[in-house]
Amino acid sequence: MHIEEDYLKQLGVLARIQLSGSDLAALSKQLKTIIDLVDQISSVPTDHIEPMAHPVPDQFQRRRPDVVTESDDHERLLALASRHEADLYLVPEVIQES
């Protein structure tokens, strides 16, 4: 399947990845070879086959009681951010005055 460059740009928007004009043609070609590879599964009969939910039978993702188990770590975690102030992450202005 061919992925049109316009559609690829739209994927970039969804994935928050900027695609420059020069990248688009090469990437479109590479994605085509990958999609052609994965399209091999389309002809496999899978009626009545359950999609795998967990690789190990009878296992499931455990849940834990909804109680606080971690200590307050916000200072150490905030310190990892590029910009923060007054215990808040700083981002560019989102709501602007009209």
Partner 1 sequence: MHTHTLAELSLLLSTKKISSLELTRHFLERCAHYQHLNAYSLVTAESALTEARAADEARQQNRTPLNALLGIPLAQKDIFCTQGHRTAVGSKMLSNFIPPYDATVIANFKQAGCPMLGKTNCDEFAMGSSNETSYDGPVLNPWATDCTPGGSSGGSAAAVAARLAPAASGTDTGGSIRQPAAMCGLVGLKPTYGLVSRYGMIAFASSMDQGGPMTQTAEDAAMMLNVMAGFDEKDATSVQQPKVDYTKTLNDSIQGLRIGLPKEFFTNDLNDDMHRALDEAIAVLKKQGATFHEISLPHVSLSVPVYYILAPAECSSNLARYDGIRFGYQCSDARDLFDLYTRSRSEGFGAEVKRRVLVGTYVLSSGFYDAYYVKAQKVRTLIAQDFHKNFKDIDMILCPTTPTPAFKLGAKSKDPVAMYLSDIYTIAVNLAGLPGVQVPIGLLDNKPIGMQLIGNFFSEARLLNVAHRYQQETQWHRHMPTNFEPTNGGAK
Q: How far is CA 94 from the centre of its chain?
A: 22
Site for partner 1 contains 12 (CB under 8 A): yes
Based on the shown chain and the rule CB under 8 A, indicate whether residue 71 belongs to the binding site for partner 1. Answer: no
- Residue in 6, 21, 22, 62 binding partner 1, rule: CB under 8 A: 62
Q: Cα–Cα distance between 53 and 60 in angstroms, integer?
A: 8
Cα–Cα distance between 29 and 35 in angstroms, integer? 10
Residues in contact with partner 1 by the rule CB under 8 A: 3, 8, 11-12, 14-18, 27, 30-31, 33-35, 37-42, 44, 46, 49-56, 59, 61-64, 73, 76-77, 79-83, 89, 91-94
